[in-house]
Structure 1
């Protein structure tokens, strides 16, 4: 369901939106969801649809960038833009354009390695750059540290449930992971739609294929399969819409 300032959007209303095919597909899924997606204006809804499409594009681009999966201790990046801290964080260098630094990850992926939660934040940053432009992004995100779920003024939240949409981040949990490879205790992935997920370190796969891969990374004699958790992580669009106005 979609609510705009107290008005429930009808399917015939959605048909009138000037959006791309992907955005129309997302809007139709939102209308069919039992959850309510509330906005103050139509512009706010359009911002979310654009952001979600850009998230999907950015997730695919990161998978194809050549950036590698690595644990925090083995993180690395292009030193022209980033300093690697002892903890394995990528810290934006002084007087470097934040948007150009994020774009560099996608353009020179072979110079980077990081773990999957960091990858999700990078994807969300890139989606925002695509949505609002590099100049506006630089004005609001002048200090960036890429480390796990660390983010600057990017309102990310997690809710329980299965009402997820293309552009959301989901989590595959591996409860009996191999203790010698704790990085595979689970996998964050961006849902691309049609049972396709962008999972940093694994690729673009179906849910079943991700679970199969995680099951091969369990401890000896493990009995419990990896599974997709009933939770959704996403960017709070109404909040970010107010931040960048």
Structure 2
């Protein structure tokens, strides 16, 4: 029996997407979604392409942050570059008034030696940088003013969705390694937020780019003595709201007269340039 195609474009589940325009990673994500038992719906081929391109940026910026020189610490010991950020009493970073959000986010990747933070903050930084890559500095600055970097704190234009469906995780999704019996003296090791890469690897700030078993091993070394409950990869799956971000980009692009892609349909094949 023919398997249903589980990607719908503009309400048409029979529409085929020309995946020759995709990178190897993007093509893998597209095919995983197409062959899933879950229906993924997109208003256009352009919206689907935006998600795949942004997933590429999330992977690239995860690797870039890992190489940037930033270090890991809990909120009490966090540090930031005071040229761009003001550290608050909770250990979060507030963008200094008058500073460019795009320059401040980029500074973390170029001057990482000035920054120390924990894993949830690292994930949001990667998402902001990936959005900046997709939209450009002008749009990013207009959409993401008054930034605060603290844990999972989200700017109103960064929408994140979380569900219990780890089986659907693909590259650039955010997963959570849980450590139920973490040492009370080291609460920052209660778990590890990590970005799924390719080849069975994950990026978790503090653990680095590692396999699932290695990250679990790192967490197990921070358990309460005598604990019989090891760390594990939970079912929690988090990803940005790609459809919302796509609308932000296209709205900004239409106002500025830029940012639109050409979409053509020949038969059942959708071509994007």
TM-score (ref. length: structure 2): 0.86
User: 1:81 is matched with which residue?
Assistant: 84
Matched, 1:70 2:73: yes
1:195 and 2:226 are equivalent in the alignment: no
Q: Distance in 2 between matches of 1:160 and 1:16?
A: 29
Q: Is the 8 A contact 1:14 1:27 kept in 2?
A: no
Unaligned runs of 5+ in 2: 1-5, 252-273
TM-score (norm 1): 0.96
Q: Give the one of 155, 161, 184 matched to 2:159.
A: 155
Cα distance in 1 for partners of 2:83, 2:211 equals 36
* Aligned equivalents of 1:170, 1:16: Cα separation in 2: 26
Partner of 2:122: 119
Give 2:223's match in structure 1, choosing from 211, 218, 222: 218
Q: CA offsets, 1:107-129, max 9 Å, x none?
A: 11110001110011000001111
Q: Mean Cα displacement is larger for which, 187-196 or 22-31? A: 22-31
Does structure 1 conserve the Cα–Cα contact (< 8 Å) formed by 2:196 and 2:202? yes
2:41 corresponds to: 38
8 A contact 2:123–2:194 mirrored in 1: yes
Question: What is the rounded CA distance, in whole Å, between the counterparts of 2:19 and 2:242 in structure 1?
Answer: 22
Deviations 1:39-97 (A, max 9, x none): 10111000000110000001111111110111111111110010000111100011111
- Cα distance in 2 for residues equivalent to 1:26 and 1:134: 27
SS at match of 2:41: strand
Task: Provide the residue aligned with 2:61 in structure 1.
Answer: 58
May I ask how many residue pairs the two structures share in their alignment?
A: 243
Taking only aligned residues, the RMSD between alpha carbons, in angstroms, comes to 1.2
* Residue aligned with 2:163, SS: strand
Q: Which has the larger radius of gyration?
A: 2
User: Unaligned regions of 5+ residues in structure 1, if any?
Assistant: none
